[in-house]
C-alpha cells in the first residue's frame, strides 16, 4: 500500500491522539492527584495534575471560560481539519506543512477528549486513584472535564538573588508549567511551521496551482 501525503497525515494524527490518551488514562488509573515520581533525576518528573482551563496549567474564566474553551477547541479542530483537506488537494503542499498542522490538530483533539468526556467517564482523582465509569457517576458533566497533565521539567530549581527587586529570595523554577503530550504536539507543530515553513504561506513565494481533481 502506497503511503500518500493524506494517509501519512492521518497516521500522524491517530498516533498522537492514541499516545496522548494512553498516557492520560494510565496516569488517571494508577496515580492519585498531585502525586509524582522521577523519570530522570530531578529534572524530568511525572507529576499528575488536572487543568480545568488552558494549556500548560493556565486557567481561564471559571465555568463560562471552560465552556468557551471547549467550544473554541472544537471549532479549531474543525477549521484545521478543513484546512488539511484543502492543503492535501494541492500539488505544491510540502509534507512538512501537512505534518505541522496534523500535530496541531491532534493536540487540540487530544485535549478536547478530556474536556468533553473525562468528567463523565472518571471518578475524582483527589486523594485516590480515579475509577473508570464509577457507579455514582463521574466528577463532572459533558464539556466540563479537566485536562490531564503530567510532564514536568523543573530543569532549574533555585532562588532569585536577594538583591533582585520584587523577586529577590523567591523560588525560581525553569520550566515550571506541567503539560501533556497534546500540548507538546501543538507547540511542536506551531514552532515548526513558524521556523521552517513560513515561506509556504507567503503568496509571492508560492506558485499558483490548481487543486487536484477529487
Tell me which residues are annotated as active site: 149, 183
d(CA 23, CA 184): 13
Q: Say which residue the cell 494510565 belongs to.
A: 26
d(CA 214, CA 194): 30
**Residues 6 or more apart in contact with residue 84 via CB below 8 angstroms:** 9, 98, 101, 102, 105
Q: Residue 192, class by beta-carbon neighbours within 10 Å (0-12 exposed, 13-18 middle, 19+ buried)?
A: middle
**Is the peptide bond between 175 and the residue preceding it cis, with omega within 30 degrees of 0?**
yes
The answer to whether residues 94 and 192 touch, using CB atoms and an 8 Å cutoff, is no
| Coil, helix or strand at residue 50 | strand
Amino acid at each position: 500500500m502506497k503511503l500518500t501525503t493524506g494517509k501519512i497525515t492521518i497516521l500522524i494524527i491517530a498516533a498522537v491522539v492514541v499516545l496522548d490518551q494512553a498516557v492520560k488514562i494510565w496516569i488517571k488509573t494508577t496515580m492519585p492527584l498531585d502525586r509524582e515520581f522521577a523519570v530522570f533525576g530531578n529534572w524530568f518528573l511525572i507529576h499528575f495534575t488536572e487543568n480545568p482551563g488552558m494549556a500548560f496549567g493556565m486557567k481561564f474564566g471559571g465555568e463560562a471560560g471552560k465552556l468557551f474553551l471547549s467550544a473554541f477547541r472544537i471549532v479549531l479542530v474543525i477549521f484545521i481539519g478543513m484546512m488539511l483537506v484543502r492543503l492535501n488537494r494541492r500539488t505544491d503542499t510540502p509534507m512538512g506543512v501537512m505534518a505541522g498542522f496534523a500535530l496541531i490538530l491532534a493536540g487540540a483533539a487530544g485535549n478536547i477528549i478530556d474536556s468533553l468526556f473525562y468528567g463523565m467517564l472518571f471518578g475524582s482523582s483527589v486523594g485516590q486513584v480515579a475509577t473508570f465509569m464509577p457507579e455514582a457517576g463521574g466528577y463532572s458533566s459533558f464539556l466540563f472535564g479537566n485536562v490531564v497533565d503530567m510532564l514536568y521539567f523543573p530543569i532549574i530549581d533555585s532562588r532569585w538573588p536577594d538583591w533582585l527587586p520584587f523577586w529577590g529570595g523567591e523560588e525560581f523554577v525553569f520550566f515550571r508549567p506541567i503539560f501533556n503530550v497534546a500540548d507538546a504536539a501543538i507547540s511542536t507543530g506551531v514552532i515548526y511551521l513558524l521556523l521552517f515553513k513560513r515561506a509556504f504561506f507567503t503568496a509571492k513565494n508560492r506558485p499558483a496551482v490548481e487543486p487536484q481533481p477529487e
